[in-house]
Amino acid sequence: MQKTFNFFYAFLLAILGFGATLMAEDITLTTYYPAPYGAYDELTTTGDTYLATTSGNVGIGTTAPGAYKLDVIGTINATAFSAGATIGAAGTTTITYVKTVNFVAQTVTTGTITVKDGIVTVIN
């Protein structure tokens, strides 16, 4: 009876131990201390990337961005661009601009520029 009892517990322990090793997962997390800092020649991200989310400005081609949220030194290439505009129907953007200012009469006239799929279609 004692041998059967010991064998049962040994068998149960072996099964539970073997089952636990089959369910184990390994997670590897590599960290660097101190954290990397400084200027990077190249920075690649996947998914969404957020820079200066609480304050400050972002500069491209400059180490001292000016008063604008995005300060680019150099040529910009974009498939779409919106500046103070109202997004319209698919691919259409309407930009309002100041046409004339009459200081004597204290009037301002505005116009609109409509851009559809990157092409200016109407200027009023």
Answer yes or no: is pLDDT of 111 > 80.
Answer: yes
Higher pLDDT, 95 or 1: 95
User: Residue 98's closest CA among 83, 85, 109?
Assistant: 109
Which amino acid is present at 42? E
User: Residue 61's closest CA among 50, 81, 75?
Assistant: 75
Query: Any idea of the CA torsion for 67, 73, 77, 81, to the nearest 10 degrees?
Result: 10
Q: Which of the listed ranges 13-27, 79-93, 96-110 does the model predict with the highest average pLDDT?
A: 96-110
Higher pLDDT, 100 or 32: 100
Q: Per-residue confidence at 88, pLDDT binned at 50, 70, 90?
A: low
Higher pLDDT, 116 or 80: 116
Q: What is the mean pLDDT of the chain?
A: 73
